[in-house]
Amino acid sequence: MSQNTSPEAGVKTVSVSPAPAAPVSISDPQAIRALAHEARLTVLEELFASQATRTATELATRCALTPSAMSYHLRALEKYGYVIRAASEGDGRERRWKAAGSQLVLGSLSDSTSAKNAYLNVQLNAFRDRLSAEINRRDKERKEGHEPAPDRAPVLTTGVVFLSETQRKEFIKKVYDLLYEYEDLAEPEARGVDGDRLYYMLSFLPEIRPEMGD
């Protein structure tokens, strides 16, 4: 699942593409503030990216919460239209949940900057925690004598490229096309609770030059 944040487009969470379900468009600032919680963010990542159903117990294991606490968060997400109840499976003793659509789109909402910033802070903090965990894991491997493979992905890569407006649009499109290609390759069983996950964060920021006197 990828996020694209800009003043024009707002915050966009993309899942499997293409998908038969319609996108979920959120335009209520209070609904955006409801996302400013790490467990709820994890639930949305899981359900929208997998496009599969999950029980409160399954989602609770991914957030280190109790099933009852997770049920509370799921009901809150249901209230604002992010998730819906799914058909029962097996003996049907536990309710299943799924994403309310193929992708979640949060509008630009120029009058709700604080709500969007709260959501972005949760996103950035969650990614920072993942970065720290990966750094610690690699340090532990080195101390145990396991050197990383030469082709191992870097923990974080940043930089700048010099592109015209046309090239910039082409570059961004190619990056997202590659993501969509690999999202579509995942078989249903690979999207299960125990499937391997690779988290990423993308941000394309055109330069904003300070004006004289700032």
pLDDT value at 9 more than 60? no
Q: Is 201 exposed, middle or buried (0-12, 13-18, 19+ CB in 10 A)?
A: middle
DSSP conformation class of 100: S
* pLDDT tens string 46-101: 999 898 999 999 999 989 999 999 999 999 999 999 999 998 776 667 899 999 99
Q: Where are the alpha helices (DSSP H) in 80-199?
A: 113-143, 165-185
Q: Regarding predicted confidence, which is higher, 214 or 156?
A: 156
Q: Which residues contact 57 (CB under 8 A, 6 or more apart)?
A: 67, 70, 94
In three-state secondary structure terms, 111 is coil
Q: How many CA atoms lie within 13 A of 112 on its CB side?
A: 19
pLDDT value at 157 more than 80? yes
Q: Which domains does the chain have, with CATH numbers?
A: 2-191 (1.10.10.10)
Task: Look up tokens 């109840």; give the residue.
Answer: 85
DSSP conformation class of 153: P
Q: Regarding predicted confidence, which is higher, 185 or 108?
A: 185
Mean pLDDT of 23-38: 81
pLDDT interval class at 26 (50, 70, 90): confident
* pLDDT tens string 100-132: 998 887 765 555 777 778 778 888 888 998 899
Q: What percent of the chain has pLDDT over 90?
A: 37
Edge-to-edge order in the sheet of strand 103-106 = 2-6, 10-14, 103-106, 24-26
- Helix 38-50 vs helix 56-63: angle between axes, to the nearest 10 degrees? 120
Mean pLDDT of 6-15: 40
pLDDT for position 15: 40
Task: Look up tokens 């915050």; give the residue.
Answer: 11
